[in-house]
Amino acid sequence: MLVAATIRATMPPEGWQIPLFKKFANGYNEEVPNPIQTYHKYIPYSKPRKVNDQILSYGKPKDLEAFCLKAQLVNYVQYKALLEGYTSHMWSRYTSVLIWKTQNPWTHLIGQFYDHLLDHTTGFYDCHFAAEPIHVQLNLETYSIEVVNTMSEKLSNVAIEASVWDLEDECPYSKTSEKLTVPPKKIIRTFEMKYPKLKNPKPVYFLLLKIYNLSDNRIYSRNFYWLHLTGDDYKILKTFRERGPPLKIISLTFIKGSSYEMHMHIQNTSMKPDSKA
């Protein structure tokens, strides 16, 4: 989906109206775009009997800006899952991935890394991230943690750390792997992330993955997911966003000749100052 500013710049006001959502008894939500969106090949974020609606999973948007923001979140998750899904079977089912049409020659509404006015969409960033040479990822089908090494040299003396964080800044689950060696041009599957199987898991949670060197703690790859339990959605994230992070940030910028120097002071203002979050 384009950013709202591009839609306003390239379409008449009649095209700024967000799609209408028509809900059926089985829970499916049909998106009804306006005629201009239809002309520009609008593709819905729902599919009968498979996906109720990915936009509404974040809450009903009230205007164009809110709709485009939720569409960008969906775009990020979709492209990231696409690349990581292919990578999960790399060298067994696939040897490479080609993404056709990274940008549209005219104003299209979906399927692009940068839009008609060359503004980056979230697809650009998550594909760039998911295709990093050394990558730690979650298999969304099995919930196993995987490490991908596309380098020509083996990756040794490393470990994986997986931690789950809820919306109250608590860490109800964490696990660290044993020492690992990842051969070149290989993917290895490690332990299963079992938080959803625990007693009383939170409906929405964050998963942070790291693969790091055991000698100097240098991080090779860091991955972050927002997830929900089966049957739930992300609507609760709206209150989390409104609350904001418990941080106080003060920054000062100095100009020294042709360079800039910035000093930042970051303070944890939560009631749990010792939290490793």
So what's the pLDDT on residue 133? Answer: 94
Among residues 210, 219, 218, the alpha carbon closest in space to that of 137 is found at 210
Q: What pLDDT digit, counting tens, does each position of 204-228 carry?
A: 999 999 999 999 999 999 999 999 9
**Beta strand extents in the chain (DSSP E only):** 20-23, 29-32, 134-138, 144-149, 155-165, 173-176, 180-182, 186-192, 204-213, 219-228, 247-256, 259-268
Closest Cα partner for 16 from 57, 56, 67?
67
Geometric angle at alpha carbon 273, from 263 and 161, rounded to 5°? 90
**Structural domain spans, the chain:** 1-131
Express each pLDDT in 222-275 by its tens digit. Answer: 999 999 999 899 999 988 878 877 888 999 999 989 999 999 999 988 766 555
Residue (of 3, 145, 148, 142) closest to 83 by Cα position: 148
* Domain at 1-131, CATH class: alpha beta
Q: Global pTM?
A: 0.86
Residue type, position 194, single letter: K
